[in-house]
A and B are shown apart, each in its own frame.
Chain A
């Protein structure tokens, strides 16, 4: 093989190897870092599309409305728990240790990211409420569609 072709071959093959290695690594890392989104009802009854329930210990994101009257705070630390509900009627409890976002309040749509502790409880490491009162994450908006805000109060 003449040296020019040989050089090209080396360059091309190293390109191909490098790229496939990169893509392989990316896919591998992706597998471990994809967090599926669930609504409270989907956690209780299984995903709408597939009927699969999340496993205990799985990392996931859950979005719904904070049920009024369910926010409980630990008097000595920042530990807090609250219930999330959506239009399917499922309720899950979220546990969080940290500072809730500025726009967190009862009756507000939020997204929590964390691990499933048992069938209806989630240990969250992050709670998000977006920085705009009119704004709601599309997933949460879907999950809450048709719900009257007032009816989410437990006492009514």
Chain B
């Protein structure tokens, strides 16, 4: 009975989203005020019904209702309740329901939190969001219904959730990522609504900025969580594989990063407007493309669920409709958008433009590297793979100008900057960051490579210039401490966000250059030593859990003969799916991680063991956390809450 209620509310929500698209637009056309105002009510109603559907599905999982196909294939009564809950989005149908639920959540948030926006503008935005929802409701209802029954022959127990997904990281990773993906729909809707209206002013940029930032924050954290999960769950200690599905989430992130920077220019200086609109369209289109790539099953990866050609075709059609339609609208209306501001070649505007160009270049690299194998195969040239070396090489090249300009950008004024005023801070920062980088490498590594020096230098270059800029800005009118306390939230957000990026660069550089990875054959009682560390294989233990059997290898780790940690790495066999899993043991630290993963038992009873030393790998995730925090700080800036903001203040910050 409950599943049918879920099904019904989903259908009602679908109808409401159709109304939400059509009725307000009709109201604008016919100058029918009540029709225009109905947009918000319809949006909220739609949210209520999709929420009911979502809660029903969650309940079906918690209650182990195996008469529902989706529950039976993805859950098991032996699963702990929190994994049963996260199993809701553990496969295709449920994750799409989550997607459309979140889309509705965002729409509803826009409806509730934009009381000060002109009612017609908001009606347009909600109508666009309604159209997107409609597309996804139809997709769920027609091709991937999570409420289908197994009746009359329902199984006694479920087939269990994929063991890879039975993990804390996976409870949070998909919802965060989806919040980001779907969040860009708001920026998209604002852009489309503005194009429909034919008017793009800085008020538009100002309104869509916090929404875009929110989506970007979710996406940033979501990607970082995914990377962290891959690191400790897949058992080979990597943090990024350039897997097509990772790329699918990385592309909207790059476009989104370009978008938040371009939006800030549009808001403060009134330039780059049509470019910003194009980025808003791209960011969301790339989110859709990502969904298409992952869900259609044309990609080969851990993330690809069972594929169904009808699903792929539906998303492809939807993708073409959304991208084609919005680009068409853009082509027709963009000429009406005029940027009024002017700026010199050396100005913050120019530097932000360079930042955007480099980001787009990075985007093209990822896009090519992801799509080329697909194209290559489709046109009959045989299947190929494009490996990590390609992406690593391209990004090592692109990051150099990107980081250098990133350091300079905040020091440069809007509109016009005299070059000789810049020389002193730049030269000082250059010397300082080089010295710090050299000292840093000699302190934390016994080896030296030029690539490592370059990477660490770039990180410190950003940190030093960021601090220098803060110092200059703070002491411009006041003493240092008083000046710092007077800085606005969004200024801090910029500094912290950039510092987070620098931290991540340093982490990536150190990990990539100085990791030590040993695959060794070890029997109980044997040990292996490297880099001051001594790993001793003490014993094998039994470590069975509720739905798996496991063997654990116990290791004692010494550094220069002093005790560091006892580590327990497990090899699990999940009983329902007969699937082996590696649970590595990790001893985490600020400057290094130690990582042990059990491979396989060898014929003579000894084990193949991976033992890794990963310097500064935590920084790779701490950086994005800082960026996410910075984004939240920026959203809390005064000017997004106060009703009217003087132009002066805007120009100043």
Give residues in A with beta carbon < 8 Å to B: 4, 7, 10-11, 15, 18-19, 22-23, 25-26, 29-30, 32-37, 47, 49, 61, 73, 75-78, 97-100, 102-104, 113, 130-133, 137-139
Contact = CB atoms under 8 A, between A and B. Distances in A.
A108 to B, nearest CB: 12
Given A37-B385, A77-B521, A30 B162 contact: no
Interface stretch (B13-21, B409-417, B596-604, B613-621): B596-604
B581 A102 contact: yes
Contact of A34 (B384, B580, B600, B610): B384
Contact of A133 (B383, B387, B579): B579
Contacts of B345: 7, 10
A31 B385 CA distance: 12
19 contacts: A10-B345, A11-B353, A19-B361, A25-B394, A26-B364, A30-B372, A32-B389, A33-B387, A33-B390, A37-B382, A61-B385, A73-B602, A78-B519, A97-B519, A99-B610, A100-B599, A100-B608, A130-B302, A131-B302
A22 B398 CA distance: 9
B116 interface: no
B345 to A, nearest CB: 7
A49 B382 contact: yes
Contact of A99 (B300, B387, B600): B600
Nearest to B390: A33
Nearest to A15: B357
Contact of A23 (B364, B603, B609): B364
B2 interface: no
Nearest to A97: B519
Interface in B351-370: 353, 357, 361, 364-365, 368-369
Q: Which 3 A-B pairs rank lowest in CB-CB distance, beginning with the nearest?
A: A99-B599, A33-B390, A102-B580
Given A7-B345, A133-B577, A133-B579, A35 B365 contact: no
Nearest to B389: A33
A100 B599 CA distance: 7
Nearest to A38: B382
A78 B397 contact: no
Contacts of A29: 390, 393-394
A85 B525 CA distance: 39
B484 interface: no
B380 interface: yes
A75 B577 CA distance: 32
A25 B385 CA distance: 18
A83 to B, nearest CB: 18
B423 interface: no
A49 to B, nearest CB: 6
Contacts of B604: 75
A78 B520 contact: yes
B394 A26 contact: yes
Interface of B: 162, 164, 235, 300, 302, 342, 345, 353, 357, 361, 364-365, 368-369, 372, 380-387, 389-390, 393-394, 397, 519-521, 577-582, 599-600, 602-604, 608-610
A25 B384 contact: no
A4 B340 CA distance: 12
B380 A49 contact: yes
Contacts of B364: 22-23, 26
Contacts of B385: 34-35, 37, 61, 113
Nearest to A134: B306
B386 A30 contact: yes
A77 to B, nearest CB: 6
Nearest to B361: A22
A34 B599 CA distance: 29
A133 B578 contact: yes
Given A34-B384, A47-B382, 8 more contacts: A22-B365, A29-B393, A30-B390, A34-B386, A102-B580, A113-B387, A137-B300, A139-B383
A101 to B, nearest CB: 9
B384 A35 contact: yes
B309 to A, nearest CB: 13
A22 B359 CA distance: 11
B610 to A, nearest CB: 6
Nearest to B353: A11
A35 B387 contact: yes
A78 B521 contact: yes
Contacts of B372: 30
Nearest to A4: B342
Contacts of A11: 353
A104 B386 CA distance: 23
A140 to B, nearest CB: 10
Nearest to B376: A34
Contacts of A36: 382-384
B231 to A, nearest CB: 15
- Max chain B CB contacts within 10 Å: which of A75, A78, A99, A102? A99
Contact of A25 (B302, B381, B397, B521): B397
A85 B68 CA distance: 41
B265 to A, nearest CB: 14
Contact of B381 (A19, A49, A73): A49
A103 B300 CA distance: 16
B294 to A, nearest CB: 15
A100 B361 contact: no
Nearest to A21: B361
A99 B364 CA distance: 35
A66 to B, nearest CB: 14
Nearest to A103: B580
Contacts of A10: 345
Contacts of A104: 600
Nearest to B163: A131
A17 B610 CA distance: 46
A49 B519 CA distance: 38
A29 B164 CA distance: 34
A39 B389 CA distance: 23
B581 A99 contact: no
Contacts of B393: 29, 33
B465 to A, nearest CB: 23
A11 B361 CA distance: 16
A32 B390 CA distance: 8
Contacts of A98: 519
Contacts of A18: 357, 361
A26 B300 contact: no
Nearest to B577: A133
B384 A37 contact: yes
A97 B582 CA distance: 19
Contacts of B580: 102-103
Contacts of B521: 76-78
Contacts of A132: 162, 579
B579 A26 contact: no
A10 to B, nearest CB: 7
Nearest to A34: B384
Nearest to B604: A75
Given A7-B345, A98-B519, A99-B608, A26 B368 contact: yes
Contacts of A33: 386-387, 389-390, 393
A5 to B, nearest CB: 13
Nearest to B358: A18
Nearest to B298: A138
A18 B362 CA distance: 12
Given A33-B387, A102-B582, A26 B365 contact: yes
